[in-house]
């Protein structure tokens, strides 16, 4: 898959989910936007979980743990460049190693993710 295809298929979703890694709790409008974008992409909860764990967390957790980095908001262009670069390399052993360690790198945002998935289920008319 090339960079443009990644941006076309995942860009909007990646940028919508990025606030899960900011240093503040997402606001109601953040969650509403995330749910709206997720609904447009029509992904299963399992697919969303793997996007969270493998495609996003390895890049965004580095920003979250960095002392020098600004993480009150993201520069969308720079973030997209890093996400695309990561995902273009995400094959074979890299994918497997991120899957193995994804539980550790998602710990700091897991409560936010769980809240989002509850909201997605409610929006889909399913029981949380």
Q: What is the pTM of this model?
A: 0.87
Alpha-carbon gap, residue 71 to 75, rounded angstroms? 9
pLDDT number for residue 44: 96
* Grouped pLDDT means (10 residues each) for the chain, 128 residues: 90 95 91 98 95 94 59 79 93 84 87 97 92
pLDDT number for residue 63: 67
What residues contact residue 46 under an 8 Å CB cut-off, 6+ apart?
none
Residue with tokens 């460049």: 81
pLDDT number for residue 64: 59
pLDDT number for residue 68: 47
């Amino acid at each position: 898959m090339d960079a443009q295809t990644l941006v076309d298929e995942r860009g909007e979703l990646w940028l919508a989910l990025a606030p899960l890694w900011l240093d503040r709790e997402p606001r109601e409008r953040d969650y509403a936007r995330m749910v709206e974008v997720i609904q447009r992409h029509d992904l299963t909860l399992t697919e969303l979980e793997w996007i969270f764990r493998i495609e996003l967390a390895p890049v965004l957790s580095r920003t979250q743990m960095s002392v020098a980095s600004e993480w009150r908001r993201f520069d969308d262009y720079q973030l997209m460049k890093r996400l695309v670069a990561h995902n273009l390399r995400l094959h074979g052993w890299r994918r497997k190693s991120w899957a193995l360690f994804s539980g550790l790198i998602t710990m700091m945002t897991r409560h936010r993710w769980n809240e989002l998935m509850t909201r997605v289920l409610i929006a889909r008319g399913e029981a949380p």
